Amino acid sequence: MWLSVLVGVVGLVVGLRLLYRTWSGRCVSSASMRGKTVIVTGASAGIGLHTAADLVKRGARVILACRNLEKAGRVADELRKGARDGGEVVVRHLDTSDLASVRRFAQEILDTEKHIHVLVNNAGIVGTEERQVTGDGLEVIMATNHFGHFLLTNLLLDRLKQSAPSRIINVSSVGHKRPTSLDIDDLNLEREAYSKMRAYSKSKLCNVLFTLELARRLKGIGVTANSLHPGVVHTDIMKSLEYSLTNILLKLMISVVSKDSALGAQTTIHLAVAEEVEGVSGKYFVDCKEAPTSSLGRDQDLARRLWEASEKAVKLTPGEAH
């Protein structure tokens, strides 16, 4: 009896895994990226790595923007082996949790790159259960996942405009649907009971709202901005989960019924290269198709207020603001 139950459970799990992967969207575009310059943050592992690998094979000049230069250097060596049609790989240091690092990276890019055709804001963390604050006074998950990318995008926006048509891609998550509210006056999560999943889900909501307002501000100038959910993906980010029974079960579930990083990167790649999304902006994609966000994610006034609060949080100067 127990053997039959076990066989049934295993069969169900395997079936779910196969169905999920079969139904998952895949980028079918064969568009060349020769002559295009692409920046991918957090490109030394997971979805970012596989996004970069695909774009290098399409002939793009891909800048890996990473915290760990040693790891990124090893990744770059491997990616160069698969480069085609003039594809190049460049490594630059970037820690999106550190605003000074973001500014140094942006200045280096502006000094060395004449064009930026695609900016992929991919870097992200889940964080720890204990609330942590960066040297800039920002909650670390919000800083890494939202504030750093907000600042980076603003600093590079003129170059993106000069390179139009160009694209900005913000990697969010279905987790953005979890929050029932977003207190613009408490983006560093000081007032409410803290949990890393609350911080993570709110940072992902900020990714969606940032995209919404960014697209509104960029309307009609040839630069598009879209966000996405990559799917349930088993990536290195899962290693950051602390030891607990809940997290062990979560890791087990995700390892069994999930996409691998290559499949998880497909929607990002689709938004970077597909001809059919040229001119599409302010949308949210899942499995390479447009999908609805939460009601909060569609709130234009909330998006505007988040933008204004983010400008203050990252100390954006009048000359940098858009």
Q: Strand locations in the chain, DSSP E?
A: 37-41, 61-66, 88-93, 118-121, 166-171, 223-229, 284-286, 289-290
At 259 the pLDDT is 60
Closest C-alpha among 165, 291, 180 to residue 227:
291
**pLDDT (tens digit per residue) in 36-72:** 999 999 999 999 999 999 999 999 999 999 999 999 9
Confidence of residue 6 (pLDDT cuts 50, 70, 90): very low
The secondary structure of 148-185 as a DSSP string is HHHHHHHHHHHHHHHT-SEEEEEE--GGGGS-S---GG
**Rounded distance between C-alpha atoms, residue 16 and residue 226, angstroms:** 29
Average pLDDT, the chain: 89
Q: Write the CATH number of the domain with boundaries 34-313.
A: 3.40.50.720
The average pLDDT across 233-262 equals 56
- Cβ-count burial 129-161 (b if 16+ within 10 Å, e if not): eebeebebebbbbbbbbbbbbbbbbbbbbebbe
Q: List, in sequence order, every residue forming a beta bridge with 170; answer none if it has no partner.
A: 121, 227
Hey, where are the domains in the chain? Answer: 34-313
Count of CB atoms situated within 10 Å of the CB of 261:
20
Closest C-alpha among 156, 134, 127, 133 to residue 41:
156
The average pLDDT across 4-30 equals 57
In this structure, what are the phi and psi dihedrals at residue 149, rounded to the nearest 5 degrees? -75, -35
The pTM score is 0.89
Active site residues: 200
